[in-house]
């Protein structure tokens, strides 16, 4: 686990908030990307996110982009934490980092939502769909994010990016991923011109819910965000219905149908009921989501081998790269179209 040298951070915070004193930092477990801490500085409760130590792939772990998008969305109806300061000087904590206010809420990575009533389970999923629709409705140029990514040809650029990241990996080749590298470019839907703020990792575990109410109070972990295609987020967000609990907390094979969780079709329909007009969700979008996440797990495996992964679970999670590539193939074979299809 990455450690923090508190002495330089204390000096840094004293310049930002000179009326406070007394620093503590508690690592937040479970994150696989950017190491994160609860930081208390006097009476202020903060959250610090930094890049991982050691070598990282170009463009990965972009805390600078996280900070920028959080700041831009602060005045919209998209719930985000209050981003305070970005520090790009690596001499403070070893890498660039930023600080945001700590929120009081629940982050639940288990998509079965244990110990929650069936009524609240249903509403939490549906509010996640509505929150995603609100995020995609924000016009990037109206919040200072018009240059946050290149408009147009989103899937082409993303497939190229994740293919390069996979090919740059020091790990073994995965046959199913090699197949997707060929299949995805050959099966891209025609670009419909839709441009939204794409989160890139929009899932239950990156939502913070109200302490007692079934509503999203913050969308977290924006390091993969860019200007992109809204259906990329939607295709990614339905993965729990298509994966098992062992595959990063899916619900496939559980008794979710009897627990209040809406069906995948209901979730997608709720999104389309609140979204700006967009094209239909296709099996391509689901396969792309699995492909991209598989490459992310390839990166986790690389960091685990290098000994600088953000979580002790990294070595256990690394095999999911192959597993998710197989799920992508299954989505292609199943032709699993949603109610948004036409």
User: What integer is the mean pLDDT of 225-252?
Assistant: 93
SS (H, E, C) 131-200: HHHHHHHCCHHHHCCCCCCCCCCHHHHHHHHHHHHHHCCCCCCCHHHHHHHHHHHHCCCCCCCCCEEECC
Calpha distance 240→244 (Å, rounded): 7
Residue 341 has pLDDT above 50, yes or no: no
- Domains of the chain and CATH, by start: 6-101 (3.30.200.20), 118-334 (3.90.1200.10)
User: Given pLDDT bands bounded at 50, 70 and 90, which one contains residue 155?
Assistant: very high
Could you report the per-residue pLDDT of 172-226, keeping only the tens digit for each? 899 999 999 999 999 999 888 888 999 989 999 999 999 999 999 999 999 889 9
Residues 1-27: tens digit of each pLDDT:
567 889 999 999 999 999 999 999 999
Residue 270 pLDDT exceeds 90:
yes
How many C-beta neighbours within 10 Å does residue 88 have? 12
Above 80 in pLDDT, residue 56?
no
CA neighbor of 195 nearest in space, from 295, 276, 292, 298: 276
Of all residues in the chain, the percent with pLDDT exceeding 90 is 73
Give 106's strand partners.
209
Rounded to whole angstroms, what are the CA distances from 223 to 160, 260, 263?
18, 31, 29
pLDDT at position 223 is 86
What is the reported pTM?
Answer: 0.87
Mean pLDDT, the chain, as a whole number? 90
**pLDDT, average across residues 233-260:** 94
């Amino acid at each position: 686990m990455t450690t923090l040298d508190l002495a330089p951070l204390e000096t840094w915070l004293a310049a930002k908030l000179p009326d406070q004193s007394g620093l503590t930092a508690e690592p937040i477990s479970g994150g696989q990307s950017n190491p994160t801490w609860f930081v208390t500085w006097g009476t202020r409760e903060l959250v610090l996110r930094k890049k991982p130590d050691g070598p990282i792939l170009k463009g990965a772990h972009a805390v600078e982009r996280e900070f920028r998008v959080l700041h831009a969305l602060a005045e919209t109806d998209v719930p985000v934490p209050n981003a305070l300061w970005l520090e790009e000087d690596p001499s403070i904590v070893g890498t660039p980092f930023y600080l945001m206010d700590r929120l009081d809420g629940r982050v639940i990575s288990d998509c079965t939502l244990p110990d929650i009533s069936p009524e609240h389970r249903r509403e939490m999923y549906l509010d996640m769909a509505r929150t995603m629709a609100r995020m995609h409705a924000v016009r990037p140029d109206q919040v200072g994010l018009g240059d946050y990514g290149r408009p147009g040809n989103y899937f082409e650029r993303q497939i190229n990016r994740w293919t390069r990241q996979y090919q740059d990996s020091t790990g073994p080749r995965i046959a199913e991923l090699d197949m997707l590298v060929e299949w995805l470019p050959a099966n891209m839907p025609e670009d419909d011109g839709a441009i939204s703020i794409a989160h890139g990792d929009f899932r239950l575990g990156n939502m913070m819910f109200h302490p007692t109410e079934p509503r999203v109070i913050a969308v977290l972990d924006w390091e993969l965000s860019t200007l992109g295609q809204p259906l990329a987020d939607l295709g990614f967000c339905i993965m729990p219905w298509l994966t098992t609990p062992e595959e990063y907390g899916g619900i496939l094979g559980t008794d979710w149908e009897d627990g209040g969780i809406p069906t995948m079709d209901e979730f997608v329909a709720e999104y389309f009921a609140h979204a700006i007009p967009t094209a239909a969700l296709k099996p391509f979008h689901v396969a792309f989501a699995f492909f991209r996440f598989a490459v992310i797990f390839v990166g986790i495996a690389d960091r685990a081998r290098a000994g600088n992964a953000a979580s002790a679970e990294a070595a256990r999670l690394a095999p999911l790269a192959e597993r998710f590539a197989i799920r992508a193939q299954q989505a292609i074979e199943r032709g699993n179209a949603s109610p948004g299809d036409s």
